[in-house]
Amino acid sequence: MVSTEHISTYNLSEEEEKKEILRHYRGLLRALKQKMKPGDKILIRTAFEMAVEAHKTMRRKSGEPYILHPIAVAKICVEEIGLGIRSSICALLHDTVEDTDISLEDIQREFGSEIAKIVDGLTKISNVMDTNTSQQAENFKKILLTLTDDPRVILIKLADRLHNMRTLDSMKREKQLKISSETIYVYAPLAHRMGLYNIKTEMEDLSMKYMETDTYKFIAKKLQETKRDRTRYINDFIKPLKDKLQHAGLEFDIYGRPKSIHSIWTKIKKKGVSFEEVYDLFAIRIIVNAAPEKEKEDCWKVYSIITDEYNPSPERLRDWLSNPKSNGYEALHTTVMGPLGKWVEVQIRTKRMNEIAEKGLAAHWKYKEEKDDESHFDKWFNQIREALSNQESNSLDFLQDFKTSFLAEEIYVYTPKGDVKMLPIGASALDFAFSVHTAVGIKCIGAKVNHKLVPISYVLRSGDQIEIITSAKQKPNSEWLKLVITTKAKAKIKDSLKEEKRQIADLGKSILERKFNAIGAVYNQSNVEELAGFYKNSSSLDLLYDIAVKKNELKELKAFTVHGDKIIAPKVLKVVEEKLESIEVKPLSKKDTELIIFGESSDKILYTLANCCKPIPGDDVFGFVTTGEGLKIHRTNCPNATRLLANHAHRVVKTKWAKNKEISFLTGLKIVGLDDVGVIHKITNLLSGELKVNIAAMTIEANHGVFEGNVKIFVQDKEHLNIVVNKLLGLSGIERVDRYDTEEG
């Protein structure tokens, strides 16, 4: 975890505050020292004074002067992202146009058009996700559009978000949840794809700190408790390697680095193991100081020395030297069997590769002049530009597509000629076909992967060689959208389907023209839209299509009246419609939305508990206003929480529980243990007999000496559930007891 410089200045006098601001500003100047050219200091000073003056009456929620935030953002840009003078000026001014009297013209006059353009980009996205509807996704799309102008906008935005996450303690709980969920949903993956691994890791950890506080504290405590043993083990592991690497005449750094809390938690969930069973709590990193022309050779030399000393796991070798990731990441990763029978991950890279791994994009540019060819990063950038140029897609779909297409991990596959293509994990043969060319995708009927015939739905793996088979008779259908994950493939399939829909809709147009003639109405765009609105079609194209395929036979058209050139919908139906809408739109009064207490005052407002996570009293929860089903209560660590909080924060309602021992809630437990005689009897005896818990359902499956049981029980609250879990774990032969989230359980 990176240390924060967050200082509460509640108790400082005006004079002390000024000193505090200057101290932070001098820290920024020290960070910039290496990058300063003549005249730069005056520019920075001007930007600093401009920002101080603009923000002089503003405070952060913690009570400290607001100006400390832009200074901190500028410092993150320099120290942790590797940006320079101009980016620092933009960071210092990033909130001025949005929140103060300074205009974009003032900035342009003072610093020129390049800086004004970046600040403008930051201003457009500064209130991202603070507005209603699905504007969060809309705004995220705007953020990415700025990327096509100047990627520094995104980098400064990431620095801004990181500092906000580091200083989230002083925010209200619901604000913490909203900002954390956005961060984990969009900003952390974006930092990852920009190659900013340290920032991505810290963002994930900080989001988890607020969204899953108990788990975060538990893992942090465990890491602290095991630190001494871990350090001793790392030293024992490194010692023989150090000697051999020195003997080989290599110049290097070698050290152990703890894995992030978030990544450890992901492993625990994914593998279904306890903290003690997670083998990679740390990774060994070896950084070689190699001449550019000897980089690969030296990395493989180090690999050879390591695998001479420790046995490698063949399926755990990751070679990003031969095929760097599209965000520029280059390294060799291997997992070897270390002392005491423990698996250890080792990462090998050169100094240059390490700088790109830590500073991402900025370091990529620094080394770019040394290479003439278009890098993977540039190709990735161009793909994003292409995706963004498709303006028609719905913003929420766009956000989801963007995450799967551009923020996911990658695989590399080969064309028949042996060229490498990067695709996101989960990409199909059809995705590959569209990545070659739209015409190839549209006519694709199958593929040969490693010379074997496969369907278009085949999910590709790294290293596959793929040849596409096409047919002139083939055309896309709506099922294809389920078979692809890349933005390009989805957009091109939708375009093709739309074209086909237009052709069918032409038939609907001639039917509607005849029907309009029959009631004496004119066929024009405004009348078609009136009718589409009446039938709740999202567009006139959908209406005409429905008419053509006989889904809509226009039975209600007779009830319309014609007034001049206009058709008017029947009144009676409209009143009913409005009545329904007004009920739906007003689910809660403002007073009720501020605090809802469950239990004693549950009669005050109707709510239902979400089936996706089955909350019980004591769980950390939030209310979510759905369009059709009123208020639903979700756990903050619900599988759907991140998406709901990130996309629809305005519909989130603050909630808390009240004690009420008379109400019980259904929850499910998964029990794993040794299949012993009488194990069911032991469990039911404990639950029904000793603990007096009502059992709603119970299934037990045994498999080669191990049993897995699912039990649905009624408990009063989380405290009660914890007692049940601990008692079950106390039974002999019971290995694990986990609460399950899903409805099926």
Question: Catalytic residue positions?
Answer: 98-99
How many residues are recorded in the chain? 745
Contacts of 630 (CB under 8 A, 6+ apart): 587, 606, 607, 608
Q: Are 275 and 219 in contact (CB under 8 A)?
A: yes
Contacts of 72 (CB under 8 A, 6+ apart): 5, 24, 163
How far apart CA 650 and CA 653 sit, in angstroms, is 8
In sign, the C-alpha dihedral spanning 168, 170, 171, 172 is positive
Q: How far out from the chain centre does Cα 432 lie?
A: 24
Residue 529 exposed, middle or buried by CB count within 10 Å (0-12, 13-18, 19+) = middle
Residue 10 exposed, middle or buried by CB count within 10 Å (0-12, 13-18, 19+) = exposed
φ and ψ at residue 658, rounded to 5 degrees: -110, 150
Alpha helices (runs of H) in 310-428, residue ranges in sequence order: 351-359, 361-368, 376-389, 395-406
How far apart CA 227 and CA 219 sit, in angstroms, is 12
Nearest alpha-carbon partner for 486 in 420, 442, 428: 428
Nearest alpha-carbon partner for 385 in 128, 149, 158, 118: 149
The arrangement of strands across the sheet holding 466-470 comes to: 452-454, 444-449, 466-470
Q: Calculate helix-pair angle for 85-92, 14-32, nearest 10 degrees.
A: 150
How far apart CA 698 and CA 82 sit, in angstroms, is 57
Tokens read off for 434: 């569209």
Contacts of 32 (CB under 8 A, 6+ apart): 40, 44, 78, 84, 85, 88
Q: Are 31 and 78 in contact (CB under 8 A)?
A: yes
Residue with tokens 């991990």: 409
H-helix or E-strand containing 609?
strand 607-609
Tokens read off for 185: 């949903």
Q: Are 55 and 100 in contact (CB under 8 A)?
A: yes
Strands 282-288 and 311-312: unpaired
Contacts of 391 (CB under 8 A, 6+ apart): none
Q: Are 190 and 147 in contact (CB under 8 A)?
A: no
Percentages helix, strand, coil for the chain (3-state, rounded to 5) are 55, 15, 30
- Between the CA of residue 349 and those of 254, 288, 346, 641, what are the distances in Å? 11, 6, 10, 37
Alpha helices (runs of H) in 167-212, residue ranges in sequence order: 173-182, 188-193, 197-211
Q: Are 651 and 639 in contact (CB under 8 A)?
A: no
- Is 656 in a helix, a strand, or coil? strand
Q: Are 652 and 624 in contact (CB under 8 A)?
A: yes
Residue with tokens 């014609």: 562
How far apart CA 500 and CA 149 sit, in angstroms, is 35
Tokens read off for 640: 């759907």
Return the bridge partners of 467, or none: 448
Using the 8-state DSSP alphabet, how is residue 162 labeled?
A: H
Q: Calculate helix-pair angle for 376-389, 395-406, nearest 10 degrees.
A: 160
